C-alpha cells in the first residue's frame, strides 16, 4: 500500500521519536556511571556537581516550583505544610533578586492558597473558592511579574521555561493519564512541545540549547517531535480530547524525567573530565 506525503511525514516523525527514545534510554543507564555511583532511582542519592553559574539551576528550579504552584494535586497533597513547601520558592525569589512586584504577588497568592479548603473535594468548594483557584487575579499577577523577571536575559528565560515545562511533564502528565484526563495530558504535552520548540528556534535561545548536554538535547527533541507529530502546530490553549497511546505518554514522561534528573545532578550542561563544569559561558541571570 502506498503511503501519501502526510502519512510519510508522520512515519518519519515516529522514526525520529524512536531514535530519541533509544538515546534517552542509553543515557539513563550511562548517567550514573559518568557522574558517579549514586542510585538512578532517587534524586536525593544522585551526586551533585556544582557549576560556576549556579543561577542556571536556580532559574530551572524556580520554573519547576512555579509550575507546581499551579497544580491542584500538588497543593492538595501538601496543603497542611504550604508555608514549608513554598519556602524554597521564596528563597529563590530573594536569591535571584526578583522584583518587589513579584515578591508581593507571590505573598498574596500564597495567602490565598492557604485559605482554600484543600481537604474537601473540589466539587464541594464554594463558587468563590473555585473561581479563586481557577482565575485568581493574584495568581495571574504573580505569573506575569515572574515571567517579566525571567525575561531579563535569554539565560533566565531559557532555564525558567525548561524547568516549568519539565515539571509539568513529570508530575502532571502521568497522574492525569492514569485518571484518563485526556484534555489535561494533551494540554501539558502541547505546552511543553510549544515552549521546547522556542528553546531550539528562538534566535536568542537556540545558542543556549546547543550548550546543553546531548542527552538533555535529545529529550527535548523527543517531546517536540511527539507533540508536533500528534498535534501539529495547534495552539496549546486549544482543547484536544483525542487520547495518545500509553506508550507515547510514557515516552514523554521518561524524557521529562531524564531532564529533571540531569537538573538535580547539576548536569544539564556537559561535564568535562574531572567532574567540573568550569566556565559555562552563560550571562548572569
- Per-residue tens of pLDDT for the chain, all 285 residues: 445 554 555 555 555 555 555 444 444 444 444 444 333 333 444 333 333 367 899 999 999 999 999 889 899 999 999 999 999 999 999 999 999 999 999 999 999 999 999 999 999 999 999 999 999 899 999 999 999 999 999 999 999 999 999 999 999 998 999 999 999 999 999 999 999 999 999 999 999 999 999 999 999 999 999 999 988 877 777 777 788 899 999 999 999 999 999 999 999 998 654 443 334 344 444
Helices first, then strands: H and E counts in the chain? 13, 0
38 backbone dihedrals φ, ψ, rounded to 5°: -65, 150
Query: Do residue 234 and residue 262 come from a single domain?
Result: yes
Where is the domain boundary, 152, 181, 210?
A: 152
- Cα 173 to Cα 188: distance, rounded to the nearest angstrom: 7
Total number of domains in the chain: 2
Q: Are 58 and 96 in contact (CB under 8 A)?
A: yes
> Do 203 and 238 belong together in one domain?
yes
Cα–Cα distance measured from residue 5 to residue 11, given in angstroms and rounded to the nearest whole number? 10
Question: Does 235 map to a domain?
Answer: yes
Residue 216 sits in the same domain as residue 229: yes
- Same domain, yes or no: 103 and 69: yes
Expressed as residue numbers, the domain containing 193 is: 153-268
pLDDT (tens digit per residue) in 23-74:
444 444 444 444 443 333 334 443 333 333 678 999 999 999 999 998 898 9
Tell me if 245 is assigned to some domain: yes
Instruction: Please give the Cα distance from 173 to 226 (Å, whole number).
Output: 14
Amino acid at each position: 500500500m502506498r503511503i501519501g506525503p502526510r502519512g510519510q511525514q508522520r512515519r518519519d516523525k515516529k522514526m525520529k521519536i524512536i531514535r530519541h527514545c533509544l538515546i534517552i534510554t542509553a543515557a539513563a543507564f550511562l548517567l550514573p556511571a559518568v557522574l558517579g555511583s549514586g542510585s538512578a532511582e532517587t534524586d536525593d542519592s544522585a551526586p551533585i556537581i556544582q557549576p560556576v553559574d549556579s543561577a542556571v539551576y536556580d532559574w530551572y528550579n524556580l520554573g519547576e516550583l512555579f509550575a507546581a504552584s499551579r497544580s491542584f494535586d500538588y497543593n492538595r497533597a501538601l496543603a497542611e505544610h504550604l508555608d514549608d513547601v513554598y519556602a524554597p520558592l521564596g528563597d529563590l525569589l530573594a536569591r535571584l533578586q526578583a522584583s518587589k512586584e513579584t515578591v508581593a504577588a507571590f505573598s498574596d497568592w500564597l495567602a490565598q492558597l492557604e485559605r482554600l479548603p484543600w481537604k474537601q473535594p473540589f466539587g464541594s468548594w464554594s463558587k468563590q473558592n473555585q473561581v479563586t483557584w481557577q482565575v485568581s487575579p493574584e495568581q495571574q499577577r504573580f505569573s506575569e511579574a515572574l515571567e517579566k523577571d525571567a525575561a531579563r536575559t535569554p539565560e533566565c528565560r531559557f532555564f525558567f521555561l525548561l524547568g516549568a515545562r519539565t515539571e509539568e511533564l513529570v508530575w502532571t502528565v502521568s497522574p492525569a493519564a492514569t485518571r484518563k484526563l485526556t484534555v489535561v495530558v494533551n494540554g501539558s504535552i502541547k505546552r511543553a512541545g510549544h515552549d521546547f520548540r522556542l528553546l531550539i528556534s528562538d534566535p536568542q535561545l537556540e545558542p543556549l540549547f546547543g550548550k546543553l548536554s546531548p542527552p538533555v538535547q535529545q529529550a527535548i527533541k523527543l517531546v517536540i517531535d511527539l507533540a508536533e507529530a500528534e498535534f501539529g502546530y495547534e495552539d496549546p490553549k486549544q482543547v484536544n480530547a483525542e487520547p495518545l497511546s500509553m506508550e507515547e505518554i510514557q515516552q514523554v514522561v521518561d524524557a521529562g524525567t531524564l531532564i529533571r534528573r540531569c537538573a538535580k545532578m547539576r548536569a544539564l550542561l556537559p561535564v568535562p573530565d574531572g567532574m567540573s563544569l568550569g566556565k559555562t559561558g552563560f550571562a548572569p541571570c
